[in-house]
Amino acid sequence: MEREAVLVAIDVGTSKVCALIGEVSRDGRLTIMGHGTVPASGLRKGVVVNIDQTVRSIADAVERAERLSGWKIDRAFVSVGGGHIESLNSTGQVAVTAHHREVTREDVNRAIEVARAVSIPSNREVLHVERRGFIVDGQEGVKDPLGMSALRLEVETHIVTASATAVQNLSKCVAAAGVKIDELVVSGLAAAEAVLTETEKDLGVAVADIGAGTIDLALFREGAPFHTAVLPVGGINVTNDIAAVLKTSLQAAEELKIRHGTCDLAAVDDDEAISVAVLGDEAGRTVSRRELSEVIEARMRETFELLRDELASAGPGLLPAGVVLTGGAAQLAGAGQLGREVLGLPVRIAAPSGIGGLVDTLLTPAYATSIGLLLWGAGGLGAGESLRFESTPALGLFARLREALRSIFP
């Protein structure tokens, strides 16, 4: 397998920080060479609230990935989340200037610059300007106008912005952990890379990455994003409710949610009992599984109602392919069924697939954004963008030996 690049992803989430090292082959296949996941501290609802703790979490995840792979991480694609993420759509129009009236890359870039020049407050930073499509002399639906004869070129773009200070704090943490940033990628768009099919993107689909503290949302139509947002709710809200109602610790509540919880009340036997550790009482007590599930169902129903309202405001009737749920909290039993009931749309739960290498624990919904970041970087290679592409091999004996063998047997 001839190597095209070694890419690194760092997904900085509310509950975990995940660092991945991936190798992209010439034919575009991605192989995971190393990964490190640690519990996140210093973040709240996807935003940095404590610099030192966040730096430590990122450094720990990076160190684990380096140890496993034998590679030294110096640069990475980094996820951005939090309720400060906003999006808008903008168009830019230019006259085609070449004497033979053929659209050149320079014309495309000028049109994008015009689209980008929308009025954005000084406290916000542009993260993405995604091309949605082109209009060439009134002809809509053009995906790639290069080389076409035209007098006028118009581009439709999707612009994603973030709070400048939130981005600066995250960038500061990554830099303090000894890593340069290749690109900051909004979590929702990264997750979409890992779990959506091209057909879904063309038809009209939403990806909702339900994490611990937030839902990262991206809506696609005709193959490109048209709405990106973050909702400030997630799996941690369910855990908090369980802890409050059952008077137990957050750790015990999380365990109960994962082991016994479901959003599907019809699947719960009324007589089923489970034991719960109670704060201040070593003996604990037993509660019915139905009581636990009623708490979970109520909060998840409310979460899906918030999601439904956001989808309705963004583009009613534009999602014939429905909603793809991913992220750790999407793994809750019965989540897909409850989602279909509340949203009134087709719903599927998706995990990344088609990836090779050290993926024993990674091909679950919880790692959609992490793997999506690597796929985002790999997509940039094909576009011929001037990204970087070799990490520095660690100077360990094993790494040097492996590189020597690779040079003999490519």
* pLDDT tens-digit map of 274-283: 888 777 666 6
Please say whether the structural domain 86-163 has been given the CATH code 3.60.15.10.
Answer: no
* Entry field: residues in the chain: 410
Contact 304, 332 (CB under 8 A): no
Contact 242, 251 (CB under 8 A): no
CA–CA separation, 170 and 13 (whole Å):
11
| pLDDT above 70 for 405 | no
Domain range annotation of the chain: 86-163, 197-349
* pLDDT tens-digit map of 94-150: 999 877 889 999 999 999 999 998 988 999 999 999 999 999 999 998 999 999 999
Contact 21, 34 (CB under 8 A): yes
What is the average per-residue pLDDT within 386-406? 37
Question: How many helices (H) and strands (E) are present in the chain, helices listed first?
Answer: 11, 21
| pLDDT at residue number 400 | 39
| pLDDT at residue number 387 | 34
Name which of 161, 112, 150, 117 is nearest 133 in CA terms.
Answer: 112
Specify the 3-state DSSP secondary structure of 384: coil
Global confidence as pTM: 0.89
Would you state the structure tokens that stand for residue 263, as one six-digit string?
Answer: 């959003």
Name which of 107, 113, 124, 120 is nearest 91 in CA terms.
Answer: 113
Q: Which CATH number fits domain 197-349: 1.10.3290.10, 3.40.50.150, 3.40.50.11540, 3.30.420.40?
A: 3.30.420.40
Of the chain, the percentage scoring pLDDT greater than 90 comes to 75
Per-chain mean pLDDT for the chain: 89
Name which of 186, 213, 227, 239 is nearest 323 in CA terms.
Answer: 227
Look at 33-42, 276-285, 331-340, 379-388 and tell me which has the smallest mean pLDDT.
379-388
What is the average per-residue pLDDT within 34-52? 93
* pLDDT tens-digit map of 221-265: 999 999 999 999 999 999 999 999 998 889 999 999 999 999 999
C-alpha distance across the termini of the chain, in Å: 7
Q: Establish whether domains 86-163 and 197-349 are of one fold.
A: no
